[in-house]
Amino acid sequence: MTPPLQQPVRRSALRRRGTLVAAGIPIAVVALLAGAAGPAAAASAGSPGVNDPYFPLAGNGGYDVEHYDLTLGYDPATGHLDGRAVITARSTQQLNRFNLDLNGLKVTSITVDRAAASFRRDGQELVVTPRHTIGKDREFRATVTYAGIPQPVTDPDGSLDGWIPTDDGAFVAGEPQGAMTWFPANNHPLDKASYDFTVTVPQGRSAVANGVLLGQTTTGGRTTFRWRQSEPMAAYLATATVGTFKVEQFTTPGGLRIYNAVDPREAAAAAPVLKKLPSVLDWESKLFGPYPFRGAGAIVDHAPQVGYALETQTRPVYDRAPDLGTLVHESAHQWFGDSVSLTTWKDIWLNEGFATYAEWLYDEQHGGQSAQKTFDELYTTPEDDELWSFPPGDPGSGEHIFEAPVYSRGAMALHKLRQTVGDRTFFRILRAWATDHREGHGTTAQFIHLAERQSGKHLGGLFHTWIDTAGKPSRP
Ligand code: ARG
Ligand code: ZN
């Protein structure tokens, strides 16, 4: 499921050339041209990336995944993972070859529509050549069987990302790149899909993925958990975190199905915060519109080596007992980042600025300090502070996407918008953003456009100053 935005523009140009050829160029020339671009040669290789400027090899061109069906077995004692991914996709061009993203692990076989396909590895690219060319706009099914000891990737900012082993399982989070450390994927938020997970772990451990638990069965000392994420999800938001967890399941008064999994070592510290999850989700639903997914909850692991939490869809994963601000932040991402996805990592402030501003709003509406006060305090930071080191709308590279200008200055930009348009319009804009782009994507330009439409004001100057311009704005 990819937005029209990604539609390869070159295809229509090619098609037009084909028509021209048919319209009356001598046969020999037609044959020659056909070698380059005519109908006979229209099948080509899908590109190895989707042209994301920060992560050029992330994602792949030529197809769109509709569904991942992942069957995994994990042995925490050895760190060994067995996997089978059945990927249902639709081609966006005639394809004689396409790529998936997979880092490490050993691939033992690939079939495409039941016929054995040949494949080779090239860094994080898994290059698949199906036996038969796939027509344009066809649904096809690729089955990849693989195994090995997954290795997390190290992101440009130095943090571990992907399948991260812990002392009792694995902390599994993939922003921005790590999905490819545990399953073959079209690993870019442009391509969202639904997921089924069937994960088998030693009895006594739990495997916690996204969405809703369909069931669990134990045989021969191993337990299999089946999870379904039916709303579209970006690959980086998938999880299958494994550990020894205390599990609680309940339905909130508002009807949300909660599944919390907590490492017993974090349970005491986590309890008072997790108790607030239903009211936090309820408060956010009032502010941002209905909760976008069928399942909810939290995974609180004991993984001090990770150093961050992630808004894994429906069920954020925390590397330790979170504080309330972090819970509010990861929950707000369910609307901003998960339901409404990025089209490019450069727009990351649409995720982090919004989730940070949700924390400010939570404080303001729960007896803490006002968002204005938080803004004012931040504005006093000196010009040479890292807060002003780059504009939120242009972190420059993948190295900087999780830094203060994205989070705090991104939230400051939203506060400026609120000041300019007033509370009523501001909250209408937030809700419209979450509603209009629900289960889809949004760009910075689209957000500005929406804010202008809702407020009837020209906001180009405001966003230029707060989102696009380097350095500390001269006026708060
Ligand atoms: N999106 C996460 C958050 O808001 C941060 C993820 C950081 N990931 C990383 N690889 N550094 O809290
Ligand atoms: Zn965040």
Q: Does any domain span residue 332?
A: no
Residue 308 beta carbon below 6 angstroms from any ligand 1 atom:
yes
CB atoms within 10 A of CB 78: 8
In DSSP notation, 150-198 reads: --PEEPTTS-EEEEEEETTEEEEE-TTTGGGGTS-B--STTS-EEEEEE
Which atom, in ligand 1's list, is nearest to the CA of 155? 10
CB atoms within 10 A of CB 286: 13
Q: How many domains does the chain have?
A: 2
d(CA 418, CA 250): 36
Answer yes or no: do 221 and 365 share one domain.
no
Pairing of strands 153-154, 212-219: unpaired
Q: φ, ψ for residue 329 (rounded to 5)?
A: -65, -55
Sheet with 295-300, strands from edge to edge, namely: 246-251, 257-262, 295-300, 317-318
Spacing, Cα 336 to ligand 2 middle (Å) = 9
Answer yes or no: do 207 and 346 share one domain.
no
Q: φ, ψ for residue 207 (rounded to 5)?
A: -115, 120
128, 370, 427 from 121: Cα distances, Å: 9, 53, 48
Spacing, Cα 372 to ligand 1 middle (Å) = 25
Question: Can you tell me the mean pLDDT for 228-245?
Answer: 99
* 257, 201 Cβ separation under 8 angstroms: no
Which ligand approaches the C-alpha of residue 176 most closely? 1
Q: Which of 41-50, 102-111, 281-290, 400-409 has the lowest mean pLDDT?
A: 41-50
Answer yes or no: do 44 and 185 share one domain.
yes
d(CA 8, CA 200): 39
Spacing, Cα 332 to ligand 2 middle (Å) = 9
Over residues 172-186, the pLDDT tens digits come to 999 999 999 999 999
Residue 352 beta carbon below 6 angstroms from any ligand 1 atom:
yes
Which atom, in ligand 1's list, is nearest to the CA of 157? 11
Spacing, Cα 128 to ligand 2 middle (Å) = 34
Spacing, Cα 254 to ligand 2 middle (Å) = 25
* 184, 52 Cβ separation under 8 angstroms: no
Q: Is the pLDDT of residue 265 over 60?
A: yes
Which ligand approaches the C-alpha of residue 333 most closely? 2
Over residues 134-166, the pLDDT tens digits come to 999 999 999 999 999 999 999 999 999 999 999
Residue 338 beta carbon below 6 angstroms from any ligand 1 atom:
no
Over residues 88-101, the pLDDT tens digits come to 999 999 999 999 99
CA angle 373, 476, 345 (to 5 degrees): 90
Spacing, Cα 69 to ligand 1 middle (Å) = 25
Answer yes or no: do 193 and 62 share one domain.
yes
Q: Is the pLDDT of residue 10 over 90?
A: no
Which atom, in ligand 1's list, is nearest to the CA of 407? 4
Buried-exposed string 241-259: b where 16+ CB fall within 10 A, e elsewhere:
bbbbbeeeeeeeeeebbbb
Say what the pLDDT of residue 42 is.
76
d(CA 439, CA 335): 9
Say what the pLDDT of residue 47 is.
97
Say what the pLDDT of residue 43 is.
86
Spacing, Cα 80 to ligand 2 middle (Å) = 30
Residue 402 beta carbon below 6 angstroms from any ligand 1 atom:
yes
Q: Supply the mean pLDDT for the chain.
A: 92
Which ligand approaches the C-alpha of residue 152 most closely? 1
Q: Domain boundary residue among 233, 252, 279?
A: 233
Q: Does any domain span residue 91?
A: yes
The single residue listed with the structure tokens 């004689």 is: 96
d(CA 410, CA 393): 8
Spacing, Cα 70 to ligand 1 middle (Å) = 24
Answer yes or no: do 358 and 215 share one domain.
no
Q: Does any domain span residue 264?
A: no
Residue nearest to atom 1 of ligand 1 (CA): 310
* 294, 310 Cβ separation under 8 angstroms: no
Spacing, Cα 387 to ligand 1 middle (Å) = 17
Residue type, 144: V
Say what the pLDDT of residue 8 is.
31
Q: Which residue(s) pair with 63 in the sheet?
A: 91
Q: Does any domain span residue 323?
A: no
Q: Report the CATH number that the domain containing residue 359 is assigned in CATH.
A: 1.10.390.10
Beta-carbon contacts of residue 367 (< 8 Å; ≥ 6 apart): none
Pairing of strands 80-91, 139-148: antiparallel
Range of the domain at 427: 342-466
d(CA 58, CA 124): 9
Which ligand approaches the C-alpha of residue 403 most closely? 1
Residue 310 beta carbon below 6 angstroms from any ligand 1 atom:
yes
Question: Can you tell me the mean pLDDT for 349-359?
Answer: 99
Helix (H) or strand (E) run with residue 359 in it: helix 349-365
Over residues 304-350, the pLDDT tens digits come to 999 999 999 999 999 999 999 999 999 999 999 999 999 999 999 99
Spacing, Cα 144 to ligand 1 middle (Å) = 29
Residue 379 beta carbon below 6 angstroms from any ligand 1 atom:
no
Q: Does any domain span residue 270?
A: no
Note the helical H segments in 199-276: 264-274
What is the SS3 assignment for 329?
helix
Residue 161 beta carbon below 6 angstroms from any ligand 1 atom:
yes
Token output for 90? 């639709």
Residue 159 beta carbon below 6 angstroms from any ligand 1 atom:
yes
Answer yes or no: do 215 and 355 share one domain.
no
Which atom, in ligand 1's list, is nearest to the CA of 176? 10
Residue nearest to atom 11 of ligand 1 (CA): 159
Answer yes or no: do 73 and 217 share one domain.
yes
Q: Quick one: CA dihedral 310, 378, 272, 251, positive or negative?
A: negative
CB atoms within 10 A of CB 382: 8
Q: Does any domain span residue 321?
A: no
Say what the pLDDT of residue 3 is.
52
Q: Report the CATH number that the domain containing residue 94 is assigned in CATH.
A: 2.60.40.1730
Q: Does any domain span residue 169?
A: no
171, 172, 266, 354, 438 from 305: Cα distances, Å: 10, 13, 15, 27, 34
d(CA 384, CA 435): 38
Residue nearest to atom 6 of ligand 1 (CA): 310
Q: Does any domain span residue 35?
A: yes
